[in-house]
Chains A and B, each alone.
Chain A
């Protein structure tokens, strides 16, 4: 192949980012659709303006200059004509900017709109994971989970965004725009997921050493599947089935694990780290670091600082048996 073409191929590479499970150009939710329309409106309008400016510039460079001695009448005419041209350009600028401002007002109007039937979820950012609370008017049906949101397709969702420490930003490009999570206040984001699927969200505000590893999965599913998931989450942790799992539960309760993590239905009731009641059923652990398997759970517990350096989970000294047992137990908590 002609090597001179290679650089052109590289120019095409960024296009690969235009679709997929973390792309604003592949909208699957109401707000994302609005933003997507806005993006193309701005891109096309600005490209057209840019092209028009270049055309005028080229014409100006191309035109022959007036010969030195032109008459006063000719000069007055040409001044009048340039006055008209400048006036038209200013008017077009005002019209275009007003139009774009109005379009962006229309597109972002729905971000905090109230829907009486909306599903309310509180998402709280931590260094470097997400706490998710599904509120419910009946307190015993509210539950905490982490790093994974499940949403029913087609129903508006109202996210109440807060933070436990520094500024984070909630951004799931396929579904909605960014919304910051700011200490001391609560920001609201409302959108309606339109298509089932799994989407990736990412903290979009630098929040410390593991900012890049602060990801969130969003599973949009049919309402019946969502209800099934929700009932399973409301239930207490599954009881241990084997002696090894029973030993794992004891490790969880008696070692430092339970000082920071909750497993509902056991003595582990810490509130500093993610709720682990159904950790085995989540797709990933440590905010998208590793897929959830018994092996990855063991690797994480054995040495969290190598997997995600600087994160706030300490290496708790465990014997090999204790590590085996506790990872078997956690993998069971689906």
Chain B
């Protein structure tokens, strides 16, 4: 009797493995629009994302599919051209934990969408709001100092920096860079 109950419990526990990460390929247009409605401080730095982001469980930070899309966009839209592999070139490094315009997601979102005065071009007309959030989520994992359960896949080629699924991502980059 006892044994069969135990077996049943074990079976139920196995079922938990059936849960699969959601891949939301199609965002309802009103949600996509709301995602662009960020509240910004007057100086264009830091602010508050729209509530839909939290209502969706912060998918851009916690969902491996969303992060992977961000990683692809980083390559496809040639962010490397100026930021290298996140390590910085003519543009600043994005993985050392130092952000010229602050570390919060809204600042990063705004840097990408509207551009920044010292040479960061705006991507407003090239990317959709959802894509800009995907990039934002991905950039946040680059500079994260704590591990996260969700991560993109590794590169096929050799990594020039710690792979995204290693934690903490910014190990060895903790001193402030000279400006």
Contact of B128 among A183, A256, A309 (CB under 8 A): A256
B159: interface (CB < 8 Å): no
Query: Known contacts A314-B130, A315-B32, A317-B32: does B125 contact A256 (CB below 8 Å)?
Result: yes
A20: interface (CB < 8 Å): no
B156–A317 contact, CB under 8 A? Answer: no
* Interface residue tally on B, bucketed by range: 10 to 19
Chain A residues contacting B131 (CB-CB under 8 Å) are: 314
A254–B26 contact, CB under 8 A? Answer: no
For chain A, residues 145 to 185, give those with C-beta under 8 angstroms from any C-beta of chain B.
183
Minimum C-beta distance from A25 to chain B (A): 37
Chain B residues contacting A272 (CB-CB under 8 Å) are: 76
B26–A316 contact, CB under 8 A? Answer: no
A295: interface (CB < 8 Å): no
Chain B residues contacting A317 (CB-CB under 8 Å) are: 29, 32-33, 128
Chain A residues contacting B32 (CB-CB under 8 Å) are: 315, 317
Interface of B is mostly: loop
B127–A315 contact, CB under 8 A? Answer: no
Chain A residues contacting B33 (CB-CB under 8 Å) are: 317
| Contact string against A for B residues 136-179, beta-carbon threshold 8 Å, 1 for contact and 0 otherwise | 00000000000000000000100000000000000000000000
For chain B, residues 121 to 139, give those with C-beta under 8 angstroms from any C-beta of chain A.
125-128, 130-131
For chain A, residues 230 to 268, give those with C-beta under 8 angstroms from any C-beta of chain B.
254-256, 259
Minimum C-beta distance from A17 to chain B (A): 32
B26–A315 contact, CB under 8 A? Answer: yes
A78: interface (CB < 8 Å): no
B128–A306 contact, CB under 8 A? Answer: no
For chain A, residues 292 to 332, give those with C-beta under 8 angstroms from any C-beta of chain B.
303, 305-306, 309-312, 314-317
Query: Known contacts A259-B77, A314-B131, A317-B33: does B26 contact A309 (CB below 8 Å)?
Result: yes
Report Cα–Cα, A155/B125, bound state, in Å: 45
Interface of A is mostly: loop
Report Cα–Cα, A302/B33, bound state, in Å: 15
Query: Known contacts A259-B77, A315-B29: does B23 contact A310 (CB below 8 Å)?
Result: yes
Report Cα–Cα, A314/B127, bound state, in Å: 9
Minimum C-beta distance from A58 to chain B (A): 49
B25: interface (CB < 8 Å): yes
Chain A residues contacting B156 (CB-CB under 8 Å) are: 183
Query: Known contacts A309-B26, A310-B25: does B125 contact A255 (CB below 8 Å)?
Result: yes
A305–B25 contact, CB under 8 A? Answer: yes
Minimum C-beta distance from A292 to chain B (A): 23
B27: interface (CB < 8 Å): yes
Closest A residue by C-beta to B127: A256
Chain B residues contacting A255 (CB-CB under 8 Å) are: 125
B29–A259 contact, CB under 8 A? Answer: no
Closest B residue by C-beta to A305: B26
For chain A, residues 258 to 285, give those with C-beta under 8 angstroms from any C-beta of chain B.
259, 272
B128–A316 contact, CB under 8 A? Answer: yes
For chain B, residues 57 to 89, give those with C-beta under 8 angstroms from any C-beta of chain A.
72, 76-77
Chain A residues contacting B26 (CB-CB under 8 Å) are: 303, 305-306, 309, 315
Report Cα–Cα, A224/B32, bound state, in Å: 50
Chain B residues contacting A314 (CB-CB under 8 Å) are: 127-128, 130-131
Minimum C-beta distance from A326 to chain B (A): 14
Chain B residues contacting A311 (CB-CB under 8 Å) are: 25
Report Cα–Cα, A254/B124, bound state, in Å: 10
Report Cα–Cα, A259/B73, bound state, in Å: 12
Query: Known contacts A305-B25, A315-B26, A315-B29: does B126 contact A259 (CB below 8 Å)?
Result: yes
Minimum C-beta distance from A260 to chain B (A): 8
Chain B residues contacting A254 (CB-CB under 8 Å) are: 125
Chain B residues contacting A259 (CB-CB under 8 Å) are: 77, 125-127
Closest B residue by C-beta to A310: B25
Closest B residue by C-beta to A314: B128
Minimum C-beta distance from B114 to chain A (A): 15
Report Cα–Cα, A30/B156, bound state, in Å: 37
Minimum C-beta distance from B67 to chain A (A): 16
Q: Which residues of A contact B (CB under 8 A)?
A: 183, 254-256, 259, 272, 303, 305-306, 309-312, 314-317
Given contacts A255-B125, A305-B25, A317-B32, 8 further A-B contacts (CB under 8 A): A256-B126, A259-B125, A303-B26, A305-B26, A311-B25, A314-B131, A315-B128, A316-B128
